[in-house]
Structure 1
């Protein structure tokens, strides 16, 4: 029999204690727990290693929150559900703002805006043309008038009343100039009337014409009075039979000249109007001669 010294305790085999830190990957922990293997692939020691491993894992689990398998699946399902809800809400917003109806409304608004812009630009362009054309007013100058014949004789009017009858032939020359650089003007006129006081002695109609841009023309118009009853309204003509060279007869020549320019077809039209009035004094010895009208006429 073997004895030990009194002060010496019996020798014991000590097992080293290992501390295993749980990895962050919970899947590894799950595999190690279910399959019976350590995280590093070696079998677990039933007496020491397992208890220490679970003790350390429990300690770490107490300090670090973990999710079990079903809880993780539930968490993932919640995340997927929230993501689907966000996508669904985004789709609803897209449908509300960028759906077919909204796109149609946007196209309609764009077409209306484009149409309004084109109409406004075209209107502004037409107004600009109209304003520019107004500065090219035609120039009307009365050149002269020739009193070719003047004859007074006794007669009767249509009702048979006896009175003096006047026959007068004259020619009026008008210089018409179109200074415009980009349009033609169409010219018409009211009847040219030659009168003494309120009595009309002769009249004539000017022919219509179209005057091209930057051009001018002299217009000759016949002003004629045929068997015009005087009814004693022209005392200056009483002595015409005896002394025709001494006749002094004040006359007025009046008419309205209208000009129309088609600047942009029928869309832009410009109108000009001149009211001409000339004061003339006819002397018997000037019969058949030209009377200058350039200084005796006015536009009002």
Structure 2
């Protein structure tokens, strides 16, 4: 660049018109870094920038700061969590856009990523256990319901086989209050077959007392012992039904004889209830089966110690 000196100005002829002085020239220095052996050498390239208005130098610096602030705000506003990072090796971009502003952008971006990671980690810790428990309860309940539904049709089967009277006597006597009446004494054995049809569960079996009655008058009773029946198996059950000098209060007037042995057939009824409890899944799934059995029996005097078939004489409800 060539600048006018004072000698040149004074050498002008007096007749030449007077010109207004030129505004001072301003220079912008652009840094360029060249690295050689770890040392930086800065070459200054002077470029004149003429200010037509002759504004002072500080106006340009304020404009530059404003432009840098606006550009940094635009950069920081455009950066969001998940956006591409500018590598630190990009020295020119680092120096060109300002190290301080770029570091602030990195800090904001890293904080956003850390918040996202913490949010993702906090969700499993808080809700995964609850989701697991709820899912387990739902699946377990569904599995239990399936087992219960599959076990209900597999009801146990009870088949009455026979009843045998070892003793059957009706003779005159008196009750506990001293009133004269006929007294009946019986001793019999009832046989039945119990079969568990369950394919994947056993059953615990109980029963109410076996009641033997004559026209609604109880004359004998027997108790079946509890037992456990495994899956797909059966057993023969024997119950003793007895009655010792039971007062009949006029009901057996036509049955008594001097020998105590009746000469006519006697209509009797045997009634009881069998309860079976299956433990399919511990005590959580335990279906219950109830069977009510009624048998009509005709006793003949010549059937002492002879089995009386009950195959077609019983109803099962």
Q: What's the TM-score, normalizing by structure 1?
A: 0.72
Q: Deviation string for 1:69-118 (max 9, x for gaps)?
A: 64233212222234445669977x959x8586885466433332221111
| Residue number in structure 2 paired with 1:261 | 278
Q: 1:32 aligns with which of 35, 44, 47?
A: 47
1:232 aligns with 2:250: yes
| Residue number in structure 1 paired with 2:63 | 71
Q: 1:236 to 1:84 in 2, by over 3 A?
A: farther
Provide the rounded CA distance (Å) in 2 between the counterparts of 1:299 and 1:140: 8
1:250 aligns with 2:267: yes
Q: 1:287 to 1:281 in 2, by over 3 A?
A: same
How many Å apart are 1:231 and its aligned residue? 0.7
1:294 aligns with 2:311: yes
How many Å apart are 1:151 and its aligned residue? 1.0
Question: Structure 1: where are the runs of 5+ without partners?
Answer: 1-24, 35-53, 59-66
Trace 1:142-221 onto structure 2 (pairs within 5 A): 142-221=160-239
Are 2:182 and 2:252, in contact at CA under 8 Å, matched by a contact in 1? no
SS of residue matched to 2:198? coil
Q: 1:102 to 1:157 in 2, by over 3 A?
A: farther
SS of residue matched to 2:131? helix
Provide the rounded CA distance (Å) in 1 between the counterparts of 2:179 and 2:71: 119
* Structure 1 moving runs of 4+ over 6 Å: 88-91
Superposition RMSD in Å:
3.4
1:81 aligns with 2:96: no
Trace 1:43-122 onto structure 2 (pairs within 5 A): 70-84=62-76, 98=116, 104=122, 107-122=125-140
Are 1:239 and 1:247, in contact at CA under 8 Å, matched by a contact in 2? no
Provide the rounded CA distance (Å) in 1 between the counterparts of 2:131 and 2:180: 77
Provide the rounded CA distance (Å) in 1 between the counterparts of 2:260 and 2:199: 56
Q: 1:164 to 1:94 in 2, by over 3 A?
A: farther
Provide the rounded CA distance (Å) in 1 between the counterparts of 2:211 and 2:201: 30
Question: Structure 2: where are the runs of 5+ without partners?
Answer: 1-27, 32-43, 53-58, 82-107
How many Å apart are 1:222 and its aligned residue? 0.1
SS of residue matched to 1:227? strand
Q: What's the TM-score, normalizing by structure 2?
A: 0.68
Are 1:185 and 1:212, in contact at CA under 8 Å, matched by a contact in 2? yes
Bigger helix share: 1
Provide the rounded CA distance (Å) in 2 between the counterparts of 1:178 and 1:120: 31
Provide the rounded CA distance (Å) in 2 between the counterparts of 1:76 and 1:240: 134
Q: How many residues align?
A: 246
Q: 1:115 to 1:255 in 2, by over 3 A?
A: same
Q: Deviation string for 1:9-66 (max 9, x for gaps)?
A: xxxxxxxxxxxxxxxx9959972217xxxxxxxxxxxxxxxxxxx8xx99xxxxxxxx
* Higher radius of gyration, 1 or 2: 1
Provide the rounded CA distance (Å) in 1 between the counterparts of 2:230 and 2:258: 45
